[in-house]
């Protein structure tokens, strides 16, 4: 049982780490000499432009930013609630509250990655003065980590739903 508990904690911490990296790092769209994410566009390591309200489709990027941040926060809250429930739940009860919050985190990261997947081309086309060097790029590792974090938080949420507290 202790090994299972250690695995669940490590899996949850891994999920939170993936969410932090996907949210913070500048690699949602990458190519030769540039990288772009939901926060800024860099044409090299020193020439970065912060994405602000002067961008077309800025509200779309704000939706991605907000849902990624919310997903990360919910994942962290779920971890702390799991630790509290670990000591407060009676034997045989399920970690339902932790599961619900973790599945909400899963939903938020799925929404963020889906919005970015659907709207990326429009964002780049409507902001050619900023994205002119990003032609020929591809999805970067932060974008991929967001989808991996989706899978991890989903599996984690299901594990909490199935898991019962034992001695």
- The domain spans of the chain are 1-165
CATH annotation of 1-165: 1.20.140.150
Dist CA 155 CA 148 (whole Å): 11
Check pLDDT > 90 for residue 114. yes
The pTM for the full model equals 0.89
pLDDT tens digit string along 59-90?
999 999 999 999 999 999 999 999 998 888 78
Q: Which residues lie across from 29 on neighbouring strands? A: 36, 139
Only one residue has tokens 């779920």, namely: 78
Q: How far apart are CA 97 and CA 103, in angstroms?
A: 10
Q: What is the DSSP letter of 141?
A: H
């Amino acid at each position: 049982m202790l090994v299972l508990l250690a695995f669940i904690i490590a899996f949850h911490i891994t999920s939170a780490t993936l969410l932090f990296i996907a949210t913070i790092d500048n690699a949602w769209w990458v190519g030769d000499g540039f990288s772009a994410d939901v926060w800024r566009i860099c044409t090299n390591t020193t020439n970065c432009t912060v994405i602000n309200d002067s961008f077309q489709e800025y509200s779309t990027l704000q939706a991605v930013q907000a849902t990624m941040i919310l997903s990360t926060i919910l994942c962290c809250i779920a971890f702390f609630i799991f630790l509290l429930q670990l000591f407060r739940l009676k034997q045989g009860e399920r970690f339902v509250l932790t599961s619900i919050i973790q599945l909400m985190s899963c939903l938020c990261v799925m929404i963020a990655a889906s919005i970015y997947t659907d709207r990326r081309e429009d964002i780049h086309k409507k902001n050619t003065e900023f994205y002119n060097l990003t032609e020929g790029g591809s999805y970067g590792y932060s974008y991929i980590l967001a989808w991996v974090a989706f899978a991890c938080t989903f599996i984690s949420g299901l594990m909490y739903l199935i898991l019962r507290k034992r001695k």
